[in-house]
Amino acid sequence: MQHGILPLWKERGMTSHDCVFKIRKILHTKKVGHTGTLDPGVEGVLPICIGNATRLAEYLTDAGKVYEAIIEIGTSTTTEDAEGDVVEEDTTEKHITRLQVLEALKALTGVITQTPPMFSAVKVNGRKLYEYARRGETIERPTRQITIYALDLLDHCEEYHGKTITFPVRIACSKGTYIRTLAVQIGEILGYPAHMASLVRTKSGTFTKEDCVTLDQLQEKAENDKLNECIKPLEYALVDYPHFEITTDNRKKIINGQVLPMHPSLEEHDRIVYMENNKAVAVYVKHPEKKGLMKPEKMFPKVD
């Protein structure tokens, strides 16, 4: 059985679950999970966890993401992207300067508040928002704080003219960010309805497009017994945390998942990783109740 992380390039037109379903068939295993939904109309980096690496899916889901989007000024939609029905349209001739766009992007950089769109998978009262939306219901949605680490304009235009204006941006952001909603927020600052015309995820955690394979490429590698060329060790999900080699003194306790005296590195890091022969054995975190101690958050069975 395969164990590791597959950096997949999800193509447009597929849901994230479609990808998981196809990978299960290609690899002949049910133990497959994605690390954060990409809408069908979005392409990009989608790390897939396989086998024991599914235990680390939450780490990859929590990792920062980078996107490239086209923002369209002049029209808003029900879904906040190009897939939805038009809600508002401003057909006036517009004139927006580069400085105005840059100021809008600057205002939305840092910790900001977003309200998830009605057409999203956020749950309210046990039901996903898009289930309400499909029934024509609009309900109160919880706002959330997210972080925009960088928001860059990717063209060199000094002025934008026309009834419809578009410009490309790159967004580095925390988990839970809705780029669709960010497009609407940019429009609000500029004084016009807006939506996200297109979106590509160019980076997820440490994985970029260069690391990825498509489903067709994965199928080909499986047929030629070359899966090791594209499935990364599960340790790739742990690169942001300090690593320590197990010793003869603590090996038995760590292998058995016992509570240990807290390692000094946990004062500065959320997690530490214990390794043996370059393989992760356990991830330890501060004990939530017992001061000065740490406990295993994840354990990894030995794989032959």
CA–CA separation, 90 and 191 (whole Å): 10
Instruction: Look at residue 142 in the predicted model and tell me its pLDDT.
Output: 78
**Single-letter amino acid code for the residue at 167:** F
Q: Where are the alpha helices (DSSP H) in 164-214?
A: 179-190
Which residues in 101-138 are b (16+ Cβ under 10 Å) and which e?
beebbeebbeebebbbbbbbebeeeeeebeebbeeeee
User: Is the full-model pTM beyond 0.85?
Assistant: yes
Of 196, 190, 173, the C-alpha closest to 100 is 190
The Cβ-side half-sphere exposure at 120, using a 13 Å CA radius, reads: 21
* Dihedral angle sign, alpha carbons of residues 31, 32, 33, 37: negative
Q: Could you give the domains of the chain? A: 4-63+205-236 (3.30.2350.10), 65-199 (3.30.2350.10), 241-299 (2.30.130.10)
The neighbouring-strand residues paired with 153 are 169
Judge whether 284 and 260 are in contact, CB under 8 Å: yes
**CA 183 – CA 151 distance, rounded (Å):** 11
Q: How buried is residue 9: exposed, middle or buried, by Cβ count under 10 Å (0-12/13-18/19+)?
A: buried
Rounded CA gap, 190 and 196, in Å? Answer: 15
Give the SS3 label for residue 194: strand
Distance CA 133, CA 299 (A): 40
Q: Which residue has tokens 């037109």?
A: 13
Positions of the chain with pLDDT lower than 50, given as ranges: none
In whole angstroms, give the CA distance from residue 272 to residue 263: 8
Is residue 183 a contact partner of residue 69, using CB atoms and an 8 Å limit?
yes
Q: Could you count the other beta carbons within 10 Å of the beta carbon of residue 139?
A: 11
- Say whether 39 is catalytic: yes
Contact (Cβ atoms closer than 8 angstroms) between residue 244 and residue 275:
yes
pLDDT digits (tens, 9 = 90+) for 235-264: 988 988 999 999 999 999 999 999 999 999
Q: Choose, from 18, 39, 240, 249, the residue flagged as catalytic.
A: 39
Percentage helix, strand, coil for the chain under 3-state DSSP, each rounded to 5:
25, 35, 35
3-state secondary structure of 255: helix
pLDDT at 2: 83
| Per-residue confidence (pLDDT) for residue 134, from 0 to 100 | 75
